[in-house]
Structure 1
Amino acid sequence: MNSTQQWQNVTWFEVDEHQDGQRIDNFLFSRLKGVPKSRIYRLIREGQVRVNKKRIKAETKLAIGDQIRVAPIRYEIKEETDAPVSDKVAQSLLSRIVYEDEGLMVVNKPSGIAVHGGSCVAYGLIEGLRAASGKKYLELIHRIDRDTSGLVMISKKRSTLKLLQDLLREHKIKKTYVAVVKGQVSLDKQLINAPLLRYELANGERRVCVSKDGKESKTQWNVQERFMHGTLVHASPLSGRTHQIRVHGLSIGHPLIGDDKYGHETTYKGPKPRRLCLHAMRLEIPGYAPIEAPMPEDMQSLVAQLRAQKADKVVVSDKDDE
């Protein structure tokens, strides 16, 4: 892979109708190709990115005519051939489209692929779909973790991007995940209400913890099946925080099986997982029929192995933890 590193001067961008309503972090990801995501977030936090001369946050939404100033940074220039999308990968991504209309595309993302390229990632789901489909305008409406599989919404029109991001912000889109967690969750249903604080490790990697200084975060957990060494859970985040389901699981003593960031030291004697056992399985969007993606084969296989083990008798409370 050929690349060179250079210093760039102050960079200016002007927002047009195609970027209206887009988050500033997503805007910069697609334009500062050689800059790691962690660096972009740091630039935003340190005020080195300004919109109309004002400091902003990563979630700030852009409007037509906004002037974006990026302070001088060192960046990596890559050739277009650095991240080719093979025909096999292209066809695989296109085969994972589970819903599409004139404005919206929903893709069943596999575990292990990032939603967009960045540090140490030549290309992600969005870059691969752009190359595979030949469509010039495709933008992520939201994101899920690299290790999480499942449904990702992608806009094909600026108006769809703005509409669905507004619905997400207003908590009008219900997202349901299926997860396999360590141990036997006692309550059939519970609302996990624990504020989450995002922080950064020395290497720039993001982490999240429960903290009174964090942002309000709620997740509804519904137990589907209990096993000797784990529990199958449906989780619906009522707020959209980074790593929310994973950290909330850890907070009640039931981290997700296969999670190498949160709760990996928690004892687990069940079958060895191949990946993080978290899958975005269902989207309920106003004006659309529910969109679903079944639990992938690797998670189904692990559940089958857990189910085959002799289950302990469990005493379950008939009260929800409100």
Structure 2
Amino acid sequence: MIQTKCFGEWLEIIIPSKWEGHSINDLFRDVWQAPKKQIHTIRMEKHVKINGEVINWNKPLKAGDRIQLKLFIEEEFGVIPAYHEVDVLYEDEHMMVFNKPANMDTHPNSPEQTNTLANAAAFYLQAKGEQRKIKHVHRLDRDTTGAILFAKHSLAGTILDKMLEERSIKRTYAALVHGRINKKKGTIQEPIGRDRHHPTRRRVSASGLPAITHYELLEYSLMQDFSLIHCQLDTGRTHQIRVHLSSIGHPIVGDQLYGGEPLFERQALHARKLVIPHPFTDERIVVEDSLPLPFQHLLKK
């Protein structure tokens, strides 16, 4: 684990032995993989110090050196703060995970929209006296509930975006599907593209983008003929889980767009768990939510 501490606007990191010999430039370019424009801005504004001093960015670092990064700067939120009742599942100085309710978009589609999770996140930070330009790292469909990761400053956003792209961040979803899934574990590997006959629907298509969904059977309700499963994604296509499960004959309960019966007020899909390598400390952050009560009630009917 890499040692860090925060003071005011600055984050201090004790250089670990694995970074010895790297320069500041190496850290931003190779370790954190920040874009050139972001690196240039940080460099020009002198937002990096080593042992309290501004030094040459190409000078090799030594284990035990202290690098200070000016990260916690007041910025416009980027959205209008608006109060909504949402649960915080995890938070530190760099990121936070919210439990998104049903019937809520992840972010606004127009500047004046205020009924999204991003608006709620901005209000939450404003109430704490933190004015940050927050950024969602991934999204959920409007009717899907559960854990969504936000970055609280731009460098954390850059690192977390890259982790998501490289699949270092693991996402687990709980779903109630029709029928009994016979295999305890399985993988659906079918490309997904747009449905030419419907404005929002996707479908398995040979000309679509590659998509991989892993699933595991947790429980089967004989009375309801429902299977409770966990899904993990290797890709993040729109409606991926919904399309893939429908394609194998097990649509999600309530997901009428993809063949589910209207036995639930929405698709019974919940983002239950996130495993996140911490962007600065290398800790393995595990954020897990319990199975929603409506799912439990539906299984027990």
Q: Tell me which amino acid in the other structure corresponds to 2:37.
A: I
- CA–CA distance in 2 between the matches of 1:289 and 1:155? 14
The CA deviation at 1:157 is 1.0
Contact 2:104 2:116 in 1 (8 A): yes
The CA deviation at 1:290 is 1.1
The CA deviation at 1:121 is 5.8
Give the SS at the match of 2:206: coil
The CA deviation at 1:131 is 2.6
Give the SS at the match of 1:64: helix
The CA deviation at 1:162 is 0.8
Q: Tell me which amino acid in the other structure corresponds to 1:141.
A: V
- CA–CA distance in 2 between the matches of 1:300 and 1:179? 11
1:172 equivalent to 2:168? Answer: yes
Q: Tell me which amino acid in the other structure corresponds to 2:109.
A: G
Contact 2:82 2:114 in 1 (8 A): no
Contact 1:200 1:206 in 2 (8 A): no
1:282 equivalent to 2:273? Answer: yes
Contact 1:220 1:237 in 2 (8 A): yes
The CA deviation at 1:122 is 4.3
Count of aligned pairs between the two proteins: 215
Q: Of 273, 283, 291, which residue of structure 1 is paired with 2:264?
A: 273
| Residue of structure 2 equivalent to 1:221 | 215
Q: Any unmatched runs of 5+ in structure 2?
A: 1-33, 39-79, 278-282
1:85 equivalent to 2:82? Answer: yes
Q: Tell me which amino acid in the other structure corresponds to 1:123.
A: N
Q: Of 237, 256, 260, which residue of structure 1 is paired with 2:252?
A: 256
- CA–CA distance in 2 between the matches of 1:140 and 1:276? 22
| Residue of structure 2 equivalent to 1:123 | 115
- CA–CA distance in 2 between the matches of 1:139 and 1:201? 33
1:231-266: per-residue Cα shift (whole Å, max 9, x none)? 0001101111111000000010000001131113xx
1:274-293: per-residue Cα shift (whole Å, max 9, x none)? 32100001111123331101
CA, structure 1 residues 121+62, in 2 after alignment: closer, same or farther (shift >3 Å)? farther
TM-score (norm 1): 0.62
CA, structure 1 residues 131+243, in 2 after alignment: closer, same or farther (shift >3 Å)? same
| Residue of structure 1 equivalent to 2:97 | 106
CA, structure 1 residues 199+121, in 2 after alignment: closer, same or farther (shift >3 Å)? farther
1:93-116: per-residue Cα shift (whole Å, max 9, x none)? 2xx111111110101111111111
Contact 1:197 1:210 in 2 (8 A): yes
The CA deviation at 1:190 is 0.7
Contact 1:112 1:147 in 2 (8 A): yes
Report 1:1-322 matches (<5 A): 64=37, 85-86=82-83, 89=84, 92-93=85-86, 96-118=87-109, 122-134=114-126, 135-199=131-195, 205-228=199-222, 229-264=225-260, 272-286=263-277, 287-305=283-301
- CA–CA distance in 1 between the matches of 2:154 and 2:217? 38
- CA–CA distance in 2 between the matches of 1:301 and 1:150? 17
CA, structure 1 residues 200+211, in 2 after alignment: closer, same or farther (shift >3 Å)? closer
Quote the RMSD (CA, aligned, Å): 2.3
- CA–CA distance in 2 between the matches of 1:298 and 1:164? 31
CA, structure 1 residues 127+192, in 2 after alignment: closer, same or farther (shift >3 Å)? same
Farther off after superposition, 192-201 or 228-237: 192-201
Contact 1:98 1:106 in 2 (8 A): yes
Farther off after superposition, 121-130 or 244-253: 121-130
Contact 1:282 1:290 in 2 (8 A): yes
The CA deviation at 1:173 is 1.2
Contact 2:275 2:286 in 1 (8 A): yes
Contact 1:144 1:152 in 2 (8 A): yes
Q: Tell me which amino acid in the other structure corresponds to 2:215.
A: W
Identity of aligned residues (%): 34
Larger Rg: 2
